[in-house]
Structure 1
């Protein structure tokens, strides 16, 4: 539940910041707004790059290449599926061809 609260708070802060930025840009004029927009864009890009590098490094340290939360040894494939009624489940650890008519 705490994760959902953080997401909503972050979204709310982002919306308020965007509204404030829009009002500021409308007040200062288009030329100055264009210059500030370029500067802010550089900082956002650098921050995004930093977050991407941090995510890559942290996923490599934890040994979690696919982002899942399961704890597996490398090279192990774990699959789980369920079908009901007339449904079928086809699973394969590699390439798969199904010729079903």
Structure 2
């Protein structure tokens, strides 16, 4: 990997933008944890998130299911033919 002009190691522009956007929008608890480098903190957060998404056993206490619409349970028919409206 080579260093880019901004110091990032071999990241494409889309990934750099993703990291920068995440660094600008750290959650309050992430800010309170303190960091001298919000960009590095965002990069670590995204790396962990990506690992959890693509490696199912990376976080044994969580489980991410992937289903298509065809694999879900169809909704039960409603006895009331009127459309549902959100509560007031």
Q: Identify the TM-score tier after normalising by the shorter chain.
A: 0.3 to 0.5
Scaled by the length of structure 2, the TM-score of the pair is 0.33
Scaled by the length of structure 1, the TM-score of the pair is 0.30
Name whichever structure is richer in helix by fraction.
1
**Larger C-alpha radius of gyration, 1 or 2?**
1
The structure, 1 or 2, with the larger RCO (C-alpha pairs under 8 Å, 6+ apart) is: 2
